[in-house]
Amino acid sequence: MLLPAELLRLADTVIDSLDLDSSQYLTDESLHKLHDVFPDSLILAALDLIDQRKVTESVTPWGFVEYEVLSSTATHIVYVGLPKTLMSSYCTCPAFNFTVLETGQSLMCKHVLATRLAIRLAFLFVISVDVTALSSQNENNN
């Protein structure tokens, strides 16, 4: 029986080892590895989000990267690669709060898994944040 922290490290290792075949599908081996650590429903939901191009990477001019995942009701912000925390990823959705943080039922929500997979498989929609609206605020800073 693995501890949650160990399971999360295993999940990280699995995601980092995934590969695509020549037709840009996940290889059978990659799918098998995913199924070892995540429930089918979570994998399918995450792949569906990627398929529908719901995962967006936003890069600000000062280089801060965040990810947004569109769901039917809201846009959730996903942070990955967080240092010095027990959890390497975080999502603003209610499911993450309940099933990951409160009850520990899941390692991650579908948005985090979709984002991690999209990064690994380079299926991101990359946009740069338009900061013209913010620039007037910064003009007064010396």
| Shortest CB 117 distance to Zn ion, Å | 13
Q: Which long-range contacts (CB under 8 A, 24 or more apart) does 60-66 make?
A: 60/128, 60/129, 60/131, 61/128, 61/129, 61/131
Q: In the window 98-127, what residues touch Zn ion (CB under 5 A)?
A: 109, 111
| Number of residues lying near Zn ion (CB under 5 A) | 6
Q: Residue 50, interface with Zn ion (CB under 5 A)?
A: no
Q: Is 75 helix (H, G, I), strand (E, B) or coil?
A: strand
Residues whose CB falls within 8 Å of the CB of residue 119, separated by 6 or more in sequence, listed in order: 57, 67, 80
- Choice between 14 and 91, CB closer to Zn ion: 91
Q: Residue 33, interface with Zn ion (CB under 5 A)?
A: no
Q: In the window 61-100, what residues touch Zn ion (CB under 5 A)?
A: 76, 91, 93, 96
Q: Which residues bind Zn ion (CB under 5 A)?
A: 76, 91, 93, 96, 109, 111
